[in-house]
Amino acid sequence: MKTVSQLGDLRGKRVVIRCDFNVPLNGTIITDDGRIRAALPTLRALLGAGARVTALAHLGRPKGRIDPAFSLAPVAARLGELLGQDVKFAADTVGPSAQATSVSLADGEIALVENVRFEPGETSKDDAERGALAAEYARFGEIFVSDGFGVVHRKQASVYDLAKLLPNAAGELVAKEVSVLSKITTDPERPYVVVLGGAKVADKLAVIDNLLSVADTLVIVGGMAYTFLKAQGHEVGDSILDESKVATCREYLDRARATGKKILLPVDVVVAEGMDFDARRAVGEVSVVPADAIPSDREGLDIGPESAKAVAAEIAGARTVFWNGPAGVSEISEFAGGTRAIADALVSSEAFSVIGGGDSAAAVRAFGHSDDEFGWISTGGGASLEYLEGKELPGLAVLEGSN
């Protein structure tokens, strides 16, 4: 891929950049600005070179409708604070405000237009509809820079179609993401441990299928672990279970045994009657039980202390670790112990650690860890997983020099 450093003299050039500013909000308060900070190296390079930068981004899923709850106005304010300069904010996406704001930029100035997902054409399945919207985006610049890694697996107007209309390049973030993920899928330093968590096993099956031939150990935690425990013949009570995937999980366990790979599952779990998300607390008594003895009326909500020790030991002996997905409902303190143990083990480890996925990244920051305590924190949960599956990502394939 061509990168920003290969674009030549950018002074006075109008550059349109796709960023990923899909940050978590509490009202209008940004609770984790990691994705905004991840865009700073590319933005500073462009602005320092004298480019006139118009940024495109999305927030949430407004489904093609204008919804003030998903406005990028708080992002523009925070971006300005981090850049140390004014970020002009357009009140629409491709309308009069956006066009006037973009045209008004001087050398080294930046504008952010409103949420691209307010436009129905952004995520349309119709090529012509997406193409028409991309043509509107193209009016913002003469060069396109793709720096929103979290959306490169989407065939969307501001990601894919716009790249076909303008000379383009990958931003520093996208180039770094590709470099890191390529390394851990083709030539990782061994032992290579992959820790997969999160709620749904179906979301990770293709990754497991691909990584069984690459990783030395797969650690399965979070809600997805209960389908694997069921595949071993264990009772899982009211825990998250995908009955349709039990046979597939059993096949993976058999395949791992046959090929000398290790799949590490929880040996104990934290259970309760359930959880109250609004009150941020457990429902009923919280207790630790063996993973093969979950009561039929209890729900597994975190890995237990013995499981946490086992995962930490695997990480301690690794040279490369990829982690995606929390070990439990880490937003609730009673069920955050497993996720915290994984984060602490990575910080203590000498392995090159890669954290993929917004939930895992948000968790480690909530625990007080800084980004530089890890080898790399990916900004693209779905994109990083699809890359590890071996899929072609449209937003990368379309960039000049990608093929």
* Residue 300 annotated as binding site: yes
Buried b (16+ CB within 10 A) or exposed e, 365-391: bbeebeeeebbbbbbbbbbbbbbbbee
Distance CA 382, CA 150 (A): 7
Sequence-separated (6 or more) residues with CB below 8 Å from residue 115: 57, 58, 59, 60, 62, 70, 71, 72, 93
Distance CA 374, CA 236 (A): 34
Peptide bond before 24: cis, by omega within 30 degrees of 0? no
Sequence-separated (6 or more) residues with CB below 8 Å from residue 186: none
84 is catalytic: no
309 is catalytic: no
* Residue 61 annotated as binding site: yes
Please, what's the largest Cα pairwise distance for the chain? 67
Return the closest-CA partner of residue 58 out of 19, 25, 94, 92.
19
* Residue 117 annotated as binding site: yes
User: Which tokens belong to 28?
Assistant: 């209008």
CA angle 16, 175, 179 (to 5 degrees): 165
User: Which tokens belong to 364?
Assistant: 């480690």
Please pick, among 337, 358, 375, 395, the residue that the annotation labels catalytic.
Answer: 358
Please pick, among 200, 250, 262, 309, the residue that the annotation labels catalytic.
Answer: 200
* Residue 20 annotated as binding site: yes
The conformation of residue 114, written as its DSSP 8-state character, comes to S
304 is catalytic: no
* Residue 21 annotated as binding site: yes
Distance CA 319, CA 296 (A): 39
Distance CA 159, CA 20 (A): 10
Return the closest-CA partner of residue 219 out of 196, 191, 199.
196
Distance CA 74, CA 22 (A): 11
* Residue 37 annotated as binding site: no
Please pick, among 50, 95, 131, 382, the residue that the annotation labels catalytic.
Answer: 382
* Residue 298 annotated as binding site: no
Strand, helix or coil at 369? Answer: coil
* Residue 22 annotated as binding site: yes
Please pick, among 13, 18, 35, 78, the residue that the annotation labels catalytic.
Answer: 35
Sequence-separated (6 or more) residues with CB below 8 Å from residue 37: 82, 371
Distance CA 47, CA 118 (A): 27
* Residue 360 annotated as binding site: yes
* Residue 154 annotated as binding site: yes
* Residue 176 annotated as binding site: no
358 is catalytic: yes
Q: What is the CB neighbour count within 10 angstroms for residue 125?
A: 7
* Residue 60 annotated as binding site: yes
* Residue 115 annotated as binding site: no
Please list the active-site residues: 35, 200, 358, 382
Please state the residue numbers annotated as binding site for (2R)-3-phosphoglycerate.
35, 117, 154
Binding site for substrate: residue ranges?
Answer: 20-22, 35, 58-61, 117, 154
Which residues are annotated as part of the binding site for ATP? 204, 300, 331, 357-360
Residue ranges for the known binding site are 20-22, 35, 58-61, 117, 154, 204, 300, 331, 357-360
